[in-house]
Amino acid sequence: MRKDLPPVTVRMSGNLYHLDEVMKYIKRNNLYQASMYLVNNTGMGKDYATKLAMAIRDAWQAGYNPIRLSCSLIGTSRATARFTVRIDEVAINEEKRKKEEAELAAKEAKAKAEKQAAFDSLSPEMKLLLRIRKANEVIEDETVTEKLDCIDRMVVKILARIEQKPEARRTIEEFYTQYLPRTVEIAEKYAKIYMTGINNDDTSALKAELVKALETCDDAFHSLYERTYDEDMIALSSEIAALNSKLSYDGLTKSDFDISE
C-alpha cells in the first residue's frame, strides 16, 4: 500500500499548483473530488481539472511520485485538451543518489557497530593479539612477518589451553601481564617505523634487533605453553606409578627374579 505523499507542486501553463490534497483524492480513486479541488483552488475549468487529475493519477499508478513530475497542457479547446506528464530525470537521479548514500551509510554504521560489539566482547588478550595482526598487515618484510606469524600461532595455542584449563593460568601469569603486552608494543613500534619508508643503517640494525627479540619471544611462548602441561604430566606420572604399584601388589606384574622365560 502506498503511503500518503508529501505536499507537491506541478507546473502547468507557467503556474504552480499545490497538489497534496489532489493526490489524497486520487489515492481514493475519487477523480471528481480531485477535479473539484483544482477547480476551487485554481479557478481551472472543470474539464481541464479532470484531465489534469487523470494524467497525474496515471503517472502515479505507473510508479512515479508526482513530486518529481511536471505536467503541461496540450490543446486549446476542451475537446482536444490533454495533459502530458514529464519525469524530472535530474531530480529523480538526485533523489536516488541520496537514497543510496543513506542506505550505504546505514549499512556501514550497522557493520561498524557490529564489529565494535564483537571487539568489545573479546578478552583483553585477544584484543592484544589483534593489535599484533594489525601491525603485521602493514609490514611486508618476509622475515619479520614470519616471526610474527609464529608468535600469533603460539598465542592462540596458549589462550586455547587456558580456556580449556583456567587453573593453569597461574603458572604463566607473566605471559598476560608482561610478555604479551611488550610483544605488542615492539610490533607496533616497528610497524610505525616501517611505514615511514626510511631504510638506512639505523633501521637495518633495528630490524635485526626486532627479529632477534621476536625469536626470543617465540621461544619463550613455546616454553610457557609447555609449562601449562607440567601439572598434567606430573599427575599422569603419579597415576602410572600408582597403577604399577597396585599391579605389583596384586601379583599381576612379573618379578625381577622370574627366570622362567
First to last CA, the chain: 96
- Is 255 a residue whose pLDDT tops 60? no
Alpha carbons 64 and 69: distance in angstroms, whole number: 8
**What are the percentages of helix, strand and coil residues in the chain, rounded to 5?**
70, 10, 20
48-102: per-residue pLDDT in tens? 788 878 887 877 777 766 655 556 666 555 556 666 666 566 666 777 888 899 9
Any idea how long the chain is? Answer: 261
176-224: per-residue pLDDT in tens? 988 999 999 989 988 888 888 888 888 888 888 888 888 888 888 998 8
H or E segment to which residue 94 belongs: helix 89-120
In 3D space, the residue among 142, 175, 165 whose CA is nearest the CA of residue 235 turns out to be: 165
> 199 by DSSP, 3-state: which?
coil
For the segment(s) 124-247, the CATH number from 1.10.510, 1.10.287, 1.10.3470, 1.20.5 is: 1.20.5
> Average pLDDT of the chain?
77
